[in-house]
Every structure is written in structure tokens, then in C-alpha cells.
Structure 1
Amino acid sequence: MTQKFHHFYLKITAIVIGSFGPVFFLGTILPTSEPARWSLDLLSLPLDGLQTFHDPTTRFLSALTGGFLFGWGICIWFLQKWVYPKAPDEVRRSVLAGLLAWFFLDSAGSIASGNSSNAFINIIVLLIAAGPLWKKAKN
């Protein structure tokens, strides 16, 4: 893998993470909550329609989650734009550290809350978001 490809792939990582933000933001408003409700239903397999966004606490948690995910995606976008050219390996390792921290805490919480199917989905998201960043790039 080259640094040029890593630099490009960080944009994909940013989009993968950040794209969950608007979906969960939409969950804060009942008339637009269906994409978030469906996502939550998918992440807590089986698809049974039991997940709802009627409770104000769920909508508030959706606002927080959407904001954090969108902000994290934006942060990675600008790390690749402004910092990666100056410190490519440090950015790569920082993004991987953040992804691994998310993966372990989110997966442990999913299992503890009875939604272990999400831990398996997290593996797929981790592999897509990290992609080639696992390996140090050649100049």
C-alpha cells in the first residue's frame, strides 16, 4: 500500500463513519425517524420492527450519537486533508486507535445489552472503515 492510497482511503473511512450521523439525526424527528429506526432494527437482528423512536430518550440518544459520528467523520476528513501530508503514519495509527476503541466498547455494550448481532456487524464496519490502514504505507 502506498501513502497516496492511504491518503485517499481516509476519505472513505471518514464517509463510512460520518454517514451514520445524518441517519441518526433524522431519528430525532418522528416524521423522519424511519431510516434510523430501520438501522437500529438491522443492527439488533432479527429485523422484527421492535425498535422504535417514539420515546424522547431514544430520540435524544439518537441526536447525541448522530452528532458524535458526524463529528468523528469530519475530524478524520480534515486529518487526511491537513495533517496526513505532514505525519502520515501518526494519522493512520490515530484513526486505527479510534476505530479499535469504538469497536471494543460498542461491541461489549452491544453484547451486554442483549444485541450481540451488532458485535458481528461491527466486524464488517471495522474492516471497511480500516481497510488498508492496518498496514504501514510505503512512501
Structure 2
Amino acid sequence: MSKQFHKFYLKISAIIIGSFGPIFFLGTMDATLEPARLTLDLLSWPLDGMTTYVSPDTKFLSALTGGFLFGWGITIWMLSKLAYDKAPEEVRKSVVFGILAWFVLDSAGSIASGNSSNAIFNLFVLFAAVGPLWFPAKT
């Protein structure tokens, strides 16, 4: 992969990660919580309608999660725009290690909370978000 393709793919990673932010933000309000509820229901397979957003704590956690994910996506986007040309390998490694850290902690927590199916979904997000960034760009 070329550096230009890596720079482009960082934006793909940013969109993949950041797109979960607005979904979970919507979970903070009764009128718009269905996309977040459905996402959690899907990630805690099987899709059975048992996941609810009744608790205020769930809505608060959804706000925090949405904010962090959206902010992380914006950070990766800005790294591609402002820092990648100055330090391409360092930016690539930072993003890959950040995604790997998310994967390990999120998957371990999912398994510990009885939602092992999410660890499988996480594999798909991991591979999509990292993609060609696994390997250094060829000069």
C-alpha cells in the first residue's frame, strides 16, 4: 500500500469508528433511542428485542459512549489531515494500537458481561477499521 492510500484509509477508519457516535447519542432521548437500542440488541445476538433503553443509566452511558466514539473518529480524521504527512508511520501505528486496545478491552468486557457475540462482531469492526493499516506503507 502507498502512503496516499493509507492516508485515505485513515478516513475510512474514522468513519467506521465515528459513525457509532451519533447512533449512541440518539439513545439518550426517548424519541430517538431505537437505532441505539437496535444496535445493542444486534451486538448482543440474538436479535430478540430484549435489550431496552429504559434505565437512565443506560441513556447516560450511551451519551458517554457516543461522545467518545465520535471524538475518536474525528481525531483519526484530523490525524490523517494534519499529522500523517509529517509522521506517517507514527500515525499509522497510533491508530492501529488504539483500535487494538479498543478491541481487547471491549471484547473482554463483552465476554465478561455475558455478551460474547459482540466479541465476534468486534472482529469485523477490527478488520474493517484497521484494513491495510496493519502493514507499513511502501515508499
Shorter-chain TM-score range: over 0.9
Q: Matches of 1:50 and 1:74 in 2, distance apart? A: 32
Q: Which runs of 5+ in 2 are unaligned?
A: none
Q: Matches of 1:135 and 1:7 in 2, distance apart? A: 13
1:84 match: 84
Q: Which runs of 5+ in 1 are unaligned?
A: none
1:55 match: 55
- Matching residue's letter, 1:91: V
- Matching residue's letter, 1:60: F
How far off is 1:92 after superposition?
0.2
How far off is 1:116 after superposition?
0.2
1:106 aligns with 2:106: yes
- Matching residue's letter, 2:53: F
Normalised by the length of structure 2, the TM-score is: 0.99
Q: Deviations over 1:44-99 (max 9, x none)?
A: 00000011111100000000000000000000000000000000000000000100
Q: Deviations over 1:102-131 (max 9, x none)?
A: 000000000000000000000000000000
- RMSD (Å) for aligned C-alpha atoms: 0.4
Q: Matches of 1:5 and 1:100 in 2, distance apart? A: 21
How many residue pairs end up in the alignment?
A: 139
